Amino acid sequence: MVKEIERAGIPVVHMCTVVPISVTVGANRIVPTVAIPHPLGNPKLSLEDEKKLRRKLVEKALEALETEVSGQQVFE
Amino acid sequence: MAAKSRIVWYLNQFFGQIGSEDKADIPPQKHEGGIGPAAGAKNLLKDKAEVVGTVICGDTYFGENVESAAKEVVELIASFNPDIVIAGPAFNAGRYGVACGAVAKAVSEELNIPVISGMYPENPGVDMYKNYAYMVETVNSAAGMRKALPQMINLTLKVLSGEPMGTPKEEGYMPRGLRKNVFVSERGSKRAVDMLIKKLKGEEFETEFPMPDFDRVDPNPAIKDMSNAKIAIVTSGGIVPKGNPDKIEASSASKYGKYDISGFDKLSEADHETAHGGYDPTYADAEPDRVIPVDVLRDMEKEGVIGELHRYFYTTVGNGTAVASSKAFAAEFSKELLADGVDAVILTST
């Protein structure tokens, strides 16, 4: 899906846990996430801290979208 | 001596010696005994099997009526009471390949007997129907008949022998996309490390799970002004409104959903859940924002960090879902995203 969105002309950031799959599939902007069943959260944290974590990850995703890339790049 | 096994051969109008393109619209017909490639197969089959009948159909007729043609062909095949069916080889003839594949599907489903075929790997019939036949890999033209025929007959005899079928590589057929559990002497961790060491040494090694070929798309330019950008959420994590109104499948999804989140500051277990069958849903069901960050993006929208959170998110279940399906979903909804003036997409995966 990520490639078809990119192909359509829309910049896209892939937020995922299994980065090698994303790389193999061909996403260009990649932000690694927390875990497969909760990529943008961590149930061990309080809901408040969890939202802070999620905010950080989304900020990273926006940063990736604001960054010119020439090929595949993982935004750690 | 045991009775000879009975083979029925499926051919198109050309290999069935009826005519070429001008005869491609002929409906299915049957003939006693073997025609065309069956003559060359006779010596190879020896006394173990014989071609008792041939069913022929024009490629265009088949291509335009795939389902009904397959049904007609299977009825004719069944009238010979065969033990096995050989279809093709079709080389890179698209319609013929699809016909051989569709015949294989119908034969295996309705007659429950095995099918042997042969095709060029890029023939669409391979991807569409490889589950239903043992397909020999051929070159892309009929010049490969001399090589393909003995391979197909060997496979035929192997299947008829009732011995266990080996791997695609051992037996010379194209991978069918089926997984078979086997016992091996060494555990997975050791095999993986052995493979890694070989790779590091630059030695040849054989993967146990070859990745399919994937193409590449160049990245689009970056977003210049995030505070005016419209951001849309897409996910393969299966988040759907509570109750999964469109019944998106838990695996091998055949569809995607498009849902309005304009009324939500955050998602909760009262209103959303995951339809994904490939991961433990506990955490996503309890807090769907753990998969799609609606709460954070809504905050950012209010703060002016982003211009707007698009009112719809698009979702499917990325669990065993065919690459071709995912491509088709995204190609379709990307047009809507463009039409709705979406500037960038955040795609989350589980």
pLDDT in tens, B204-216: 888 887 766 657 8
Please, are residues B214 and A72 in contact by the beta-carbon 8 Å criterion?
no
Mean pLDDT of B266-291: 94
Which of B46, B41, B21 has its CA nearest to residue B88? Answer: B41
Indicate the angle between helix axes B294-303 and A47-65, nearest 10 degrees.
70
The whole-model pTM stands at: 0.56
Contacts of A43 in chain B (CB under 8 A): 283, 286-287, 290
Query: Does A30 reach chain B within 8 Å, measured CB to CB?
Result: no
Average pLDDT of B220-249?
97
Stronger pLDDT, B57 or B23, i.e. the higher one: B57
Is the separation of the CB atoms in A31 and A2 below 8 Å?
Answer: no
Report H helices in chain B.
Answer: 37-45, 59-64, 66-78, 94-106, 124-129, 145-161, 168-171, 188-201, 282-286, 294-303, 323-339
> A48-52, B238-242, B261-265, B319-323: which has the minimum mean pLDDT?
B319-323
pLDDT at B179: 74
pLDDT above 90 (res B343): yes
> What average pLDDT does this structure show over B11-25?
90
DSSP states of A30-48: EEE-S-SS-TT--TTS-HH
Res A17: pLDDT: 85
- CB within 8 A of B179, min separation 6: which ones? none
Q: Average of pLDDT values for B303-330?
A: 90
Question: Is residue B309 within 8 Å of residue B297, measured between CB atoms?
Answer: yes
Strands (E), B196-286: 230-235, 239-241, 257-260, 272-274
Please tell me the least confidently modeled range out of A14-23, B232-241, B263-272: A14-23
Q: Phi, psi at residue B252, to the nearest 5°?
A: 45, 55
Give the span between the Cα atoms of B47 and B32, in whole angstroms.
Answer: 18
Cβ of residue A20 closer than 8 Å to a chain B Cβ? no
- Give dist(CA A6, CA B218) in Å, integer: 8
pLDDT of B246 over the 90 cut: yes
- Asked if B293's CB is within 8 angstroms of A65's CB, the reply is no
| Cβ-Cβ contacts under 8 Å, A12 against chain B | 220, 234, 344-347
Tokens 């190879």 identify what position?
A: B44
ipTM over 0.90: yes
Find the largest Cα–Cα distance for chain B. 86
Strand partners, B309: B231
> What is the distance between the alpha carbons of residues A16 and A39, in angstroms, rounded to a whole number?
6
For residue B77, the SS3 value is helix
* DSSP state at residue A67: S
Spatial CA neighbour of B138 closest among B100, B195, B110: B100
Question: What's the pLDDT at B24?
Answer: 85
Residue contact A66–B226, C-beta within 8 A = yes
pLDDT of residue B214: 58
Residue of B nearest to A5 (CA): B334
Of the pLDDT bands very low, low, confident and very high (cuts 50, 70, 90), residue B136 is very high
What digits encode the pLDDT tens for the residues B158-172? 999 988 888 888 888
Residue B212 DSSP label: P
Count other Cβ atoms within 10 Å, centred on residue B95.
21
Contact A37 B221 (CB under 8 A): no
Amino acid of residue B142: A
Residue-wise pLDDT tens digits, B26-80: 999 999 999 989 888 988 998 899 999 999 999 888 987 888 999 999 999 999 9
Rounded to an integer, what distance in angstroms lies between the CA atom of residue B259 and that of residue B169?
46
Tell me if B89 sits within 8 A of B117, measured CB to CB.
yes
Say if strands B84-91 and B312-315 run parallel, antiparallel, or are unpaired: unpaired
Question: Would the CB atoms of B342 and A10 count as touching at under 8 Å?
Answer: yes
Interface test with B, best of A5, A22, A48, A73 (most B CBs within 10 A): A5
CB B304 within 8 A of CB B317: no
Using the predicted structure, report yes or no on whether residue A58 has a pLDDT greater than 70. Answer: yes
The rounded mean pLDDT for chain A is 93
A65 neighbors A29 (Cβ within 8 angstroms) = yes
* A29 contacts A64 by C-beta, under 8 angstroms: yes
Contact indicator for B346, A66 with CB cutoff of 8 Å: no
Please check the confidence at residue B1 and state whether its pLDDT lies above 50.
no
Q: Say whether pLDDT at B232 is over 70.
A: yes
Mean pLDDT for chain B?
Answer: 92
Q: What is the pLDDT of residue B166?
A: 86
- Residue B204 CB coordination number (10 Å): 7
The pLDDT, as a whole number, for residue B320 is 64
Q: How confident is the model at residue A9 (pLDDT cuts 50, 70, 90)?
A: very high
- How far is the CA of B147 from the CAs of B100, B153, B288, in angstroms? 19, 11, 56
